[in-house]
Amino acid sequence: MSSTRTILLILGFLSTLAVIALIAVAVTQNQPLPKNIKYGIVLDAGSSHTNLYVYEWPAEKENDTGVVKQVEVCKVEGPGISGYSHATEKAGPSLAQCLQQAKEVIPSAQHKETPVYLGATAGMRLLRLQNESAADKVLSSVGNTLRSAPFNFQGARIITGQEEGAYGWITINYLLGNFKQSGWKKLLLSLKFLSETSGALDLGGASTQITFVSKDLSSESPENQLYFRLYGKDYQVYTHSFLCYGKDQALQQKLAMDLQASTSAPVIEQSWTLPALGYWCCKSCCVPAHLLVRIREMSLFCIQTGHEVPKEGSQYFQKHYQFEMP
């Protein structure tokens, strides 16, 4: 009899615990679990401007690859960092406003563990070809500013054209969802109705990149071949960067050719465009040498003979070439 009572008491106690557990679950089930979120900052230092991006991702990875989400973007005021070649000490401070914006987005408790990285592209690659010392000083200024921020500085460097193309390809295919394929997309892939990934053509200010998956890279230069493992799958990618074929450098080359043929152009006969435009074109090492010689000769002649750049000249080139006169 006593053993039966003991068993009943134990069963009653366990039932009570079960009820308490159910109540606890019912109370807490609608409350979100604490998120283990990581943050990262990337500065994309292009030829014409710099953008700062803040990303977040859960600490847990999917097939050894993080699932990243962009949460903030800030366009740095002023030119790209290559535009500070004659005032290199100003390159770093130009990033201060966007870094402050990143501080406000990322929880202060996570500032020290948040990596920050700057990658400079074709504008700085051109500057390094023209003036390596100035390029080094620009990167030093940028690095000093990023080190003084409360984040985990991971570096500031000039990336190669191949890296730039590859990063663009990853971004495009990530945003299209090509790396994480749903059931219906897998079916289409199996039936060959759909390409697994998309190629990327990136038109920048100073260069253009083309990148795509290729099954046969045996005839290509090793420097144009890259290999990635993303979401548990391997990718063999062809990438090539065409320096000087970005839109800004193409415009400078077009202007240089127009200036060379300027003797028959009515607007150029007045000679008011040559000193300013000649200087602007001659700043680029993308303009062919034989054109530079001709432009310098014409510009020097105009300066020596006292020709100036009147307002109507500035308006003409703003209209036809969409840029500000220097």
Residue 66: CATH number of its domain: 3.30.420.40
How far, in Å, CA of 188 to CA of 103, rounded? 44
How far, in Å, CA of 326 to CA of 35, rounded? 51
Residue at which a domain ends, from 223, 243, 263: 243
| Same-domain pairing of 72 and 127 | yes
Q: Quick one: CA dihedral 94, 100, 102, 108, positive or negative?
A: positive
Q: Tell me how far apart the terminal alpha carbons of the chain are, to the nearest angstrom.
A: 104
Residue at which a domain ends, from 243, 265, 284: 243
Domain assignment present for residue 76? The answer is: yes
The per-residue b/e assignment along 50-59, b for 16 or more CB within 10 angstroms, e otherwise, is: bebbbbbbee
Hey, what are 274's tokens?
Answer: 């040559």
| Same-domain pairing of 176 and 273 | no
Q: Give me the chain's average pLDDT, please.
A: 75
Cβ–Cβ under 8 Å, residues 154 and 216: no
| Same-domain pairing of 276 and 169 | no
Q: Which residues contact 232 (CB under 8 A, 6 or more apart)?
A: 63, 64, 65
Could you list the residues known to form a binding site, using ranges.
Answer: 205-209
Could you list the residues known to form a binding site for ATP, using ranges.
Answer: 205-209
Among 95-99, 194-198, 233-237, 273-277, the minimum mean pLDDT is found in 273-277
Position 326: which residue type? P
pLDDT at residue 299, rounded to an integer: 47
Q: Could you give the number of structural domains in the chain?
A: 3
pLDDT band at 93 (very low <50, low <70, confident <90, very high): very high
| Same-domain pairing of 82 and 150 | yes
Domain assignment present for residue 21? The answer is: no
pLDDT band at 262 (very low <50, low <70, confident <90, very high): low
Query: Coil, strand or helix: which one is 314?
Result: helix
Q: Is the pLDDT of residue 87 over 90?
A: yes
Which structural domain range is residue 314 located in? 250-321
pLDDT band at 24 (very low <50, low <70, confident <90, very high): low
Please give the distance of CA 180 from its chain centroid, rounded to a whole number: 22
Rounded to 5 degrees, φ, ψ at 120 are -100, 145
pLDDT at residue 325, rounded to an integer: 40
pLDDT band at 261 (very low <50, low <70, confident <90, very high): low
Domain assignment present for residue 143? The answer is: yes
> For 173-188, what is the mean pLDDT?
67
Percentage of residues of the chain with pLDDT beyond 90 = 37
Domain assignment present for residue 111? The answer is: yes
| Same-domain pairing of 144 and 182 | no
Among 82-91, 111-120, 250-259, the minimum mean pLDDT is found in 250-259
Among 31-40, 212-221, 231-240, 293-302, the minimum mean pLDDT is found in 293-302
The alpha-helical segments, DSSP class H, found in 230-282 are 247-260, 266-269, 274-282
| Same-domain pairing of 307 and 205 | no
User: Which one-letter DSSP state was computed for residue 316?
Assistant: H
Q: Which residues contact 211 (CB under 8 A, 6 or more apart)?
A: 165, 166, 168, 169, 199, 200, 202, 237, 238, 239, 240
Among 63-67, 180-184, 241-245, 249-253, the minimum mean pLDDT is found in 180-184
Annotated active-site residue in 164, 196, 220, 308? 164
pLDDT at residue 225, rounded to an integer: 86
- Higher-confidence position of 184 and 214: 214
Percentage of residues of the chain with pLDDT beyond 70 = 61
pLDDT at residue 231, rounded to an integer: 79
Cβ–Cβ under 8 Å, residues 90 and 107: no
How far, in Å, CA of 151 to CA of 221, rounded? 38
Residue at which a domain ends, from 104, 133, 159: 159
| Same-domain pairing of 302 and 266 | yes
Among 122-126, 158-162, 182-186, 309-313, the minimum mean pLDDT is found in 309-313
| Same-domain pairing of 297 and 213 | no
Question: Is 164 annotated as catalytic?
Answer: yes
> For 182-210, what is the mean pLDDT?
69
Domain assignment present for residue 16? The answer is: no
| Same-domain pairing of 106 and 182 | no
Provide the whole-model pTM: 0.69
- Higher-confidence position of 259 and 78: 78
Q: Which residues contact 319 (CB under 8 A, 6 or more apart)?
A: none
Q: Which of 16-25, 105-114, 256-265 has the highest mean pLDDT?
A: 105-114
* Polymer length of the chain: 326
From residue 72, give the alpha-carbon distance in Å to each of 3, 68, 114, 155: 67, 12, 14, 20
pLDDT band at 20 (very low <50, low <70, confident <90, very high): low
| Same-domain pairing of 209 and 108 | no
- Higher-confidence position of 145 and 316: 145
Question: DSSP labels for 14-50?
Answer: HHHHHHHHHHHHHHHTTSPPPP-EEEEEEEEE-SS-E
